[in-house]
């Protein structure tokens, strides 16, 4: 069995499959430790760490994240949502992690469980002959060609989307065409006390900022904005990033005495999905399957969760090959359901109606607890929570209609003024 990619998804599924007695080779293009973005985890990551036996090691290198702070200049205030108030009170915190350290812990755990790790080697193609094992070709960083055959291939290649690109499965997400620009700072002003490790989501005119404190005193800061806004920057990345920060008083204030401690980086084509998540002898997990806007810090959680599902799926397919079609269909359905649980909120998070609801929390009918359950990663919530989430959607649509009704006279007057101007 061969796993492409040694990030959270690949290292997790490799360890789980090795525990079940499968021979697993993991091929990673980089060498750990290596830089990666996506440092904020969800409370429902914790039981996954427990099942892998690495929770204590993760906690020793991380800072606790007890909640999420939303900041809106339009409302002139900030609002904090504590995970301890979620529907399920068992997971009141999560972690902020430096990904170079976090990913290495996961990879070492896989190696300790018997996974053969091959670093500095990029998989270039995968062939799927009929009625035969897959053929994998790769090239290491010394230029040497490597080849394997495998009964099952796991694509955990992240945003490289190896198989989705090769097989034509990848689809851009036209509803969320965003880009991100980010860097690490030292000396940033953090929230006081217990809230020091909380993530802050700060809206600004062209998108939103993340502000993620790390245990070593570094703070990860990034801006997510429309791709076109980044393409039209007209200057170098560092200057553009500093200009965006200056345009957001809250972030500018927190970074007033801070120093940039890393190169400024950017990434486009931020959100995408795939038509299929699996085939006769392959499966896509984590970012190799889909990536959605990171406003709710879902990346690592969805990657690891899909790895657990993927391990169950592969093991079941190998033990019951006559039922593999149904087993893979179930994996596909679970993966899309998990993504769908978050995307309804993500597609609307920049709309005034949604922002107003987040900035004016009310726990009527325990709706706030239900939304917090989802934001904590509880994607397969029970019937009671689902009912409250439907109530939240109703409240959202009522709020949006009310705002449209108040805006209609303004639009009408603007249209009349424009017609008068054209006539004149």
Per-residue tokens: 392: 């939240």
Residue 271 has phi, psi (to 5 degrees) of -120, 135
- What is the rounded average pLDDT for all residues in the chain? 93
377 with 44: CB under 8 angstroms? yes
DSSP state of 294: G
Q: Which residue has the tokens 């755990």?
A: 109
Q: Which spans in 113-265 are helix H?
A: 162-167, 227-231, 237-246, 249-254
| Coil, strand or helix at 123 | strand
pLDDT at 379: 83
Task: Please write the tens of the pLDDT for every residue from 215-272.
Answer: 999 999 999 998 888 888 888 999 999 999 999 999 999 999 999 999 999 987 678 9
Rounded to whole angstroms, the Cα distance separating 386 from 395 reads 14
The mean pLDDT value for 191-214 works out to 96
Comparing 396 with 419, the larger pLDDT belongs to 396
In 114-176, the DSSP E strands lie at 116-118, 121-127, 134-140, 145-150, 153-155, 170-172
Provide the pLDDT confidence category of residue 419 given band limits of 50, 70 and 90.
low
288 with 160: CB under 8 angstroms? yes
DSSP 391-413: HHHHHHHHHHHHHHHHHHHHHHH
| Coil, strand or helix at 261 | coil
92 with 66: CB under 8 angstroms? yes
Provide the pLDDT confidence category of residue 344 given band limits of 50, 70 and 90.
very high
Total residue count of the chain as it appears in this document: 424
Comparing 131 with 297, the larger pLDDT belongs to 297
Residue 416 pLDDT greater than 70, yes or no: no
pLDDT at 157: 97
Task: Please write the tens of the pLDDT for every residue from 31-51.
Answer: 999 999 999 999 999 999 999
Count of beta carbons in the 10 Å neighbourhood of residue 18: 22
The mean pLDDT value for 297-318 works out to 96
What does DSSP say about strands 63-65 and 94-96: parallel, antiparallel, or unpaired?
A: antiparallel
Angle between helix axes 8-19 and 299-319 (nearest 10 degrees) is 30
- Opening angle at CA 264, ends 263 and 267, nearest 5: 125
Provide the pLDDT confidence category of residue 213 given band limits of 50, 70 and 90.
very high
As a whole-number percent, the residues of the chain with pLDDT over 90 amount to: 81
Distances (CA, A) of 13 to 20, 59, 241, 284, 311: 11, 21, 36, 11, 6
Task: Please write the tens of the pLDDT for every residue from 71-108.
Answer: 999 999 999 999 999 999 999 999 999 999 999 999 99
Exposed / middle / buried, residue 393 (Cβ in 10 Å: 0-12, 13-18, 19+): middle
pLDDT at 330: 96
């Amino acid at each position: 069995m061969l796993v492409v990619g040694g990030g959270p998804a690949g290292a997790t599924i490799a360890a789980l499959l090795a525990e079940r007695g499968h021979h697993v080779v993991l091929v990673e293009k980089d060498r750990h430790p290596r830089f990666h973005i996506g440092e904020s985890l969800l409370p429902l990551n914790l039981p996954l760490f427990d099942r892998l036996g690495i929770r204590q090691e993760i906690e020793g290198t991380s800072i606790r994240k007890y909640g999420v702070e939303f900041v809106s200049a339009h409302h002139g205030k900030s609002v904090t949502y504590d995970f301890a108030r979620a529907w399920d009170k068992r997971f009141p915190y999560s972690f902020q992690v430096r990904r170079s350290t976090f990913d290495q812990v996961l990879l070492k755990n896989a190696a300790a469980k018997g996974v053969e790790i091959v670093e500095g080697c990029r998989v270039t193609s995968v062939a799927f002959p009929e009625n035969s094992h897959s053929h994998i070709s790769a090239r290491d960083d010394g230029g040497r060609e490597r080849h394997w055959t495998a009964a099952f291939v796991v694509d955990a290649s992240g945003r490289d989307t190896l198989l989705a690109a090769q097989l034509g499965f990848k689809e851009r997400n036209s509803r969320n065409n965003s880009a991100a620009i980010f860097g690490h700072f030292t000396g940033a002003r953090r929230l006081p006390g217990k809230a020091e490790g909380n993530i802050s989501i700060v809206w600004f005119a062209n998108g939103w900022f993340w502000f993620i404190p790390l245990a070593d005193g570094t703070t990860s800061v990034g801006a997510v904005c429309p791709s076109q806004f980044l393409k039209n920057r007209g200057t170098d990345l560092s200057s553009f990033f500093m200009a965006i920060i200056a345009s957001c008083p809250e972030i500018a204030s927190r970074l007033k005495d801070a120093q940039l401690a890393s190169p400024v980086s950017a990434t486009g084509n931020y959100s995408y999905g795939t038509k299929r998540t699996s085939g006769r002898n392959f499966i896509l997990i984590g970012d190799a399957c889909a990536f959605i806007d990171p406003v709710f810090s879902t990346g690592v959680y969805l990657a690891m969760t899909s790895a657990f599902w993927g391990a169950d799926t592969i093991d079941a397919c190998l033990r019951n090959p006559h039922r593999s079609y149904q087993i893979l269909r179930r994996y596909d359905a679970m993966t899309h359901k998990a993504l769908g649980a978050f995307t309804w909120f993500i597609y609307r998070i920049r709309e005034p109606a949604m922002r107003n609801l987040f900035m004016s929390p009310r726990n009527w009918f325990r709706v706030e607890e239900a939304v917090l359950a989802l934001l904590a990663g509880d994607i397969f919530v029970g019937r009671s929570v689902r009912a409250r989430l439907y109530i939240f959607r109703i409240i959202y649509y009522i709020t949006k209609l009310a705002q449209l009704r108040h805006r209609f006279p303004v639009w009408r007057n603007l249209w009349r003024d424009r017609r008068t101007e054209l006539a004149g």
